A and B are shown apart, each in its own frame.
Chain A
Amino acid sequence: NAGVMQNPRHLVRRRGQEARLRCSPMKGHSHVYWYRQLPEEGLKFMVYLQKENIIDESGMPKERFSAEFPKEGPSILRIQQVVRGDSAAYFCASSPEAGDETQYFGPGTRLLVL
C-alpha cells in the first residue's frame, strides 16, 4: 500500500506565477488535509477536503489560495500570483475516517518563491 504521494517535491516559482501542488492520498483514504510549515515553525492547518467537497477551509488565506479534491485524481492546492511569503513546505495528510485514525503525511512539497 503506497503511502501519501505529493508532487512535485520541490517547486521554484517567481513572484506572480502560479503554483499547483498535488496530493494522492493513501489507497482507501477519502479524507485529505493540507498543512503549511513555515521555516522554523510548526505545521498550520489550511484545509480539509473529502471527495468533491471542501469541509473546512478556515486555515486558508482568503485570496490567491484554493483547493480541490475531485472525484477522480489527486487533490490540488493552487496558489495564484505567489509572493515570497508563500515560500514554505506544504504537507498533505490523509486518513480513512475523520478523527478516529491518525493522519498519514506525505513527503511534502517545498515551494520557493524567488
Chain B
Amino acid sequence: ELKVEQNPLFLSMQEGKNYTIYCNYSTTSDRLYWYRQDPGKSLESLFVLLSNGAVKQEGRLMASLDTKARLSTLHITAAVHDLSATYFCAVDSAGGTSYGKLTFGQGTILTVHP
C-alpha cells in the first residue's frame, strides 16, 4: 500500500523567513502534486511534477521531485502572511498505468506570523 508522509505537520514561520516542507512516498511513482487548502475551502493546484529532477517555481514557492529518493520538497522563500494555509502533497498511486488515483499526505499546516 502506498504511503505518503509529510513533515513537518505543523509549521509556524515568521514573515521573511525561508523553510522547506518534505514529502516522502513509499513506492515508485513519477507523478507528484502539490495542493493548497484554505480553511473550509477546496484544494487549489500549485504544482504538477511529472519527472525525476523536475523543478517548478511560482512566486515564493518552489517544488522539486527526486523519484530515486522518493522525495519531493516545497520550498518557501521569504514567507508572507498570505501563504498561511494547509499544504498537501499527493502521489499518483495507480502504478504502471497511472490514472489519477491520488494518495495524499497528511497535510502541513503553515502559519506565517508578522
Give A contacts to B, CB under 8 Å: 31, 33, 35, 41-45, 48, 55-56, 58, 91, 95, 98-108
Contact = CB atoms under 8 A, between A and B. Distances in A.
Given A98-B99, A98-B100, A99-B31, A42 B42 contact: no
Nearest to A44: B104
18 contacts: A33-B100, A35-B102, A41-B107, A42-B104, A43-B88, A43-B102, A43-B104, A45-B102, A48-B100, A91-B42, A91-B43, A98-B100, A99-B97, A99-B100, A100-B50, A101-B48, A103-B33, A105-B42
Given A102-B45, A102-B48, A45 B88 contact: no
A63 B94 CA distance: 23
Contact of A106 (B33, B42, B93, B98): B42
Interface pairs A-B: 8 shortest CB-CB: A98-B99, A42-B104, A99-B98, A105-B43, A43-B104, A98-B100, A107-B42, A102-B48
Contacts of A43: 43, 88, 90, 102, 104
Interface residues of B, number: 26
Interface string B71-97: 000000000000000001010111001
Contacts of A101: 48, 100
Given A99-B92, A99-B100, A102-B33, A42 B41 contact: no
Interface in B25-68: 31, 33, 35, 41-45, 48, 50
B101 interface: yes
B79 to A, nearest CB: 22
B42 A108 contact: yes
Contacts of B42: 91, 105-108
B20 interface: no
B94 A99 contact: yes
Contacts of B99: 31, 48, 55-56, 98-99
B111 interface: no
Contacts of A48: 99-101
Nearest to B46: A102
A111 to B, nearest CB: 14
Contact of A42 (B31, B50, B93, B106): B106
